[in-house]
Amino acid sequence: MVLPMGGLRHLAQAVTSEEIVRKSRFITRLFPVADAATAKEHLNAVRRRDHAARHHASALVIGTDAAVQRSNDDGEPAGTAGLPMLEVLRRERVTDILAVSTRYFGGILLGRGGLIRAYGGGVSAALALAEFWVDEPSLHLTVTVPAAQGGRAENLLRDWAARAEGVGIGQVVYGEQTELALSLPPERLTELEAKLAQAGLAVTLGRTTMAR
């Protein structure tokens, strides 16, 4: 399952949470990762650190659209460890993250339901301790005005961009018409249109793509 784009959360820094469930010790670690190779390095480091543990289940989500999603039960019954962990990451809309849950077996079998609750609950508990940042989409526009109005339009937009959070001016192309590349949060589009109208500029707005 791929999560929809827009508003996906990114882990700000690594987090560790620990719980005892019927004498089994579960250590859940969350790592911010940019690619699968980095995730593998973190997982191998956890295995070396807690080499005496019986299981190191993991779940991974990577990409601006969360396109890469993997889970591993690491010896637990199929679907009782890595998948519940992955489902929590999906539900919480987190990407570019590795979750590793290390289990020291306490001698009491938990059963399928108990394992699912323990592994999924461990990720939920760790996420509750974490800090996140959100990579919101930006609207990319081309603002086109007659050449005679190009300087006034550029000054207006640069002044606005200096004061309006999230607004940026890109390339400016001069010719028979002046074209200015502009990026802004979608919620500021109405404000932009009002400013251009108030300035009396003969403007054409061309929408391009939603970029992250």
Domains of the chain plus CATH, in order, are: 9-134 (3.30.230.30), 138-211 (3.30.70.360)
State in Å, rounded, how far the first CA of the chain is from the last one: 20
Instruction: Give the rounded distance of the alpha carbon of 209 from its chain centre.
Output: 19
11: Cα within 13 Å, side-chain hemisphere: 28
- Please identify which residue in the block is written with the tokens 């956890």: 46
Which residues lie below 8 Å from residue 134, measured CB to CB, with a gap of 6+?
7, 8, 9, 10
Tokens 């009782």 belong to residue = 80
Average pLDDT over every residue of 75-94:
96
SS3 category, 139: strand
**pLDDT by residue (tens digit) across 160-171?**
989 888 888 888
Question: Strand, helix or coil at 194?
Answer: helix
Q: What is the pLDDT of residues 86-142, one digit of tens each?
A: 999 999 999 999 999 999 999 999 999 999 999 999 999 999 999 998 766 678 889
- Written as one letter, the residue type at 65 is D
pTM of the model: 0.66
- Opening angle at CA 88, ends 85 and 90, nearest 5: 110
Q: At what angle do helices 150-163 and 189-199 cross, to 10 degrees?
A: 140
Residue with tokens 């081309």: 142
